[in-house]
Amino acid sequence: MINMNIGPYNNRPDMGRLREIIRVMTKYHFGNILEAVGLKNRLFETLKLYIKSPEEVHEPAHVRLRLVLEELGTTFIKLGQVLSTRADLVGREVAEELAKLQDEAPPFPFEDVKRVLESELGVPMEEVFAEFQEEPVASASIGQVHRARLRNGDAVAVKVQRPGIADTVKSDIILMKYLAKLANDRVPGLRYYNLPGIVAEFERAIRKELDYHQEANNVERFRAMFMDDETVYAPYVYREYSTGRVLTMEYVDGVKLTDILKSDIKFNARVIAERGARCYFKQIFIHGFFHADPHPGNILVQKGNVLCFLDFGMMGHLDRSFRDRLAELFILLMNYDVNGIVNQLRYMNILTEETDLEEVKYDIIDLLDRYYGADVRKVGEILTEFTMPGMIRRHRIRIPRDFVLLARVMSMAEDLGERLDPRFNGLAVAWEMTHKLIRNRLNPLRNLDEVPAAIIELEHIMNDLPRGLISALQKLEEGKLKMELEHRNLDEISVRIERSTNRISVAMLVSALIIGSSLVTIPREALILEKFPFLGIFGFAVSFLIALALIVSIIKSRRLS
C-alpha cells in the first residue's frame, strides 16, 4: 500500500512549487485569478525572476486551462482528468477540453525500473523473468509498461511505478489544499464549487491509482464478472509478482480501437459496437461496477471481435437500489414520461425539497425535445445535460458523483458506437436489458438473496430492543430522560410574541389611564386648581402620547414586515 498520509510535520506548501504555479498561470493570462486570491502581489518580486515577458495566448480560457495543467505535470494532469468527469461542476465545454489531456511522459531509465522491481519483489529480476524488454511499450506520468516473459514461459505486461512519483503527488496535493482553501476564503463566487471538496475527491482518486493493489483488485473483479462471456475479456493478474508499485498481468495481443478507427483494419465494426454497448449496460445495470474510462486506447479488439479492456485505475460503483431506480428512469426516458421522470428523480434523491417541480418539469420537456426525433439514441447525452451546472443551480438539485461519472461514460460509449457504425443504436440493447432487469425484480425468488441480510438485521433489532426499552424506562422513572428538540425560527417567533405582549400591556395601561382620568375629572372628586381638573387633563395627555407612540410603532412594524 502506498503511503499517502500527510502528517502535521510536512503539511506546509512547497513555496518553490508555488512560484512555478504562479509563473505558469501568469504565462497563460490567469493573473486575475492570482490577484483575486491575493497571490500575485505577494510574490510579484519573485515572479520577476521567472517571467521575462509573458507570451501572448489567444486561445479561449478553457483551452488555456488545459495548457496550464499540462505544463504543471503529473498531479495537475490527473486533476484535470478527474475534473473532465465532473461536467456538473465545470460545465461541458471545460470538461470536454480537459478530456483531451494525455497522460504521457518520457520513459524513465531501465536502471530505475530494475531497482523498483527488485526492491518490490525482494529477489533479483533474473529469478522472476526469463526475458524483460528494456524499452517500454507505453509510458505515462505515474508508471510505464514493459513486455516480459516469466520463468514458466508466460508472456506478461509489467507495469512499474515511476520512482518518487508518490512524494511528488503528495507535495502537490498539500499545495492544492492550500490554494483551494485560499480561493474558497477570498473569492465568494468560488464557494459554490466547493474547491476543498474537489481536492479531497481528487486525493481519494489518485490514492487508488497510486496503489497497484487496488488496480489488481479491479481487474480481477471485472474478469470474474465476464468469466462466462466469450465476447469480453480482461487480463489475468499474477498476484505473486504484483505489489503496490508493480503490477504483472497477462500480455494480451490485440488491436487498439484507436487504430481501428483510424485505419482500414478488417473488423466487424457493427458487432464491436453492439458488444461494447451490451458489455457496458451489463456493467452498469447488472453488476454496478463499471470501467470509468472507455477511451478507445483502453480497449483492445482480439480475433473474433472479442473486446479486451485495459487500465482499471478508474472505476465507478452503483449500489443495487440505485441500479433499480436507474433502470426505471431509462424506461421512463425512452417512453417520454415526463411526470414519471420527475417522480423517479425524487425517489433517487436527486430533486430536493427546494426544487420547484413544475419548473423542473418544463426544463425536462425542453431537454427531451432537443433529443427526441424519429430515432432516439442519446440517453447518455440527456443525462449529461441534466448534470450541467446551470440545471443544478437553477433547480437546487443534488447529483451523486457516480451519476455524473455514469452520464459521462454512457455519452462516451454512445459516441464510440456511432464512430464505429453510424447506424448503430445502443438504446435497443438498453431497452432489452432494462426490461429484463424490471422483470427479474418481479420474480419472488429474487428476494431470497436478501433474506440472510434481513435475518441478521432482525436478530440485531431483537437483541437491542429489550435493552433499549429497559434503559429508557429506568431513565423515565428516575426523571433523567432527556429529549432534544430541533427548532427552526423560534427566536423570531419569540421576539414577535414578546413585542405583541408589550403592546397589549401598553394598551391596557393607556386604557387604565383614560378611565382613571375620566373619573378624576368629576368635580366632586377632582383636584381643582382655579376650577380646572388638572390631574384628569394630565392623565388624558399622557394617555394620548403613549397611544400615539403605540400606533406609530405598529404602523412602522407593518411596513417593515
Whether 249 maps to a domain, the answer reads no
Whether 112 maps to a domain, the answer reads no
User: Strand, helix or coil at 150?
Assistant: strand
CA dist 395 and 346 (Å) reads 13
| β partners of residue 123 | none
Q: What is the pLDDT of residues 169-205, one digit of tens each?
A: 999 999 999 988 888 888 887 776 778 888 888 888 8
Range in 365-379, 470-484, 547-561 with the lowest mean pLDDT: 547-561
Based on the domain organization, do 198 and 265 belong to the same domain? no
Q: Are strands 232-233 and 306-309 parallel, antiparallel or unpaired?
A: parallel
Whether 414 maps to a domain, the answer reads yes
Reported confidence tier of residue 135, pLDDT bands at 50, 70, 90: very high
Q: What is the pLDDT of residues 303-330, one digit of tens each?
A: 889 999 998 988 888 888 888 888 888 8
Residue 528: pLDDT above 60?
Answer: no
Residue of 293, 319, 324, 402 with catalytic role: 293
| Beta strands per DSSP E along 133-175 | 138-139, 143-150, 155-161
* 524 or 98, higher pLDDT: 98
Reported confidence tier of residue 2, pLDDT bands at 50, 70, 90: very low
Neighbouring CB atoms inside 10 A of 252's CB total: 17
Among 415, 442, 469, the domain-final residue is 442
Max mean pLDDT among 1-10, 155-164, 253-262, 479-488 falls in: 155-164
Percent of the chain residues topping a pLDDT of 90? 23
Based on the domain organization, do 288 and 192 belong to the same domain? no
Whether 554 maps to a domain, the answer reads yes
Based on the domain organization, do 428 and 503 belong to the same domain? no
Q: Residue 247: which of 215, 278, 275, 199 has the closest Cα?
A: 215
Q: What is the pLDDT of residues 52-74, one digit of tens each?
A: 444 545 788 889 999 999 889 88
Among 412, 442, 472, the domain-final residue is 442
Based on the domain organization, do 283 and 371 belong to the same domain? yes
Based on the domain organization, do 271 and 332 belong to the same domain? yes
Based on the domain organization, do 280 and 182 belong to the same domain? no
**Which residues constitute the domain of residue 331?**
256-442
CA dihedral 548, 551, 553, 558 (to 10 degrees): -160
User: Strand, helix or coil at 267?
Assistant: coil
Average pLDDT, integer, range 136-145: 90
Based on the domain organization, do 276 and 417 belong to the same domain? yes
Whether 436 maps to a domain, the answer reads yes
Average pLDDT, integer, range 514-530: 54
Q: What is the pLDDT of residue 121?
A: 95
Max mean pLDDT among 371-385, 405-419, 469-483, 489-503 falls in: 405-419
Based on the domain organization, do 262 and 367 belong to the same domain? yes
CA dist 200 and 183 (Å) reads 15
**Residue 140 to residues 110, 155, 161, 259, 488: CA-CA distances in angstroms?**
15, 21, 9, 19, 54
Based on the domain organization, do 398 and 263 belong to the same domain? yes
CA 328 vs. chain centroid, Å, equals 23
Q: What is the pLDDT of residues 217-242, one digit of tens each?
A: 999 999 999 999 999 999 999 999 99
Contact between residue 70 and residue 101 where contact means Cβ atoms under 8 Å apart? yes
φ, ψ (nearest 5 deg) of residue 155: -80, 130
Based on the domain organization, do 176 and 275 belong to the same domain? no
**Residue 16 to residues 51, 260, 401, 559: CA-CA distances in angstroms?**
14, 45, 34, 59
Residue 521: pLDDT above 60?
Answer: no
Mean pLDDT of the chain: 79
Whether 385 maps to a domain, the answer reads yes
In DSSP notation, 381-412 reads HHHHHHTSHHHHHHHT----HHHHHHHHHHHH
Residue 49: pLDDT above 70?
Answer: no
Average pLDDT, integer, range 527-539: 56
Q: What is the pLDDT of residue 5?
A: 44
Based on the domain organization, do 64 and 196 belong to the same domain? yes
Domains identified in the chain, total number: 3
Residue 526: pLDDT above 60?
Answer: no
Average pLDDT, integer, range 474-501: 64
CA dihedral 436, 439, 440, 443 (to 10 degrees): -160
Q: What is the pLDDT of residue 294?
A: 78
| Beta strands per DSSP E along 203-265 | 232-233, 246-250, 255-256
Tell me the CB-side half-sphere exposure of residue 452, using CA atoms within 13 A: 1
Active site residue 293: yes
Based on the domain organization, do 91 and 191 belong to the same domain? yes
Whether 215 maps to a domain, the answer reads no
Q: What is the pLDDT of residue 529?
A: 46
Whether 247 maps to a domain, the answer reads no
Q: What is the pLDDT of residue 411?
A: 80
Q: What is the pLDDT of residues 385-429, one digit of tens each?
A: 777 777 877 888 877 777 777 887 888 887 888 888 888 777 777
CA dist 266 and 276 (Å) reads 17
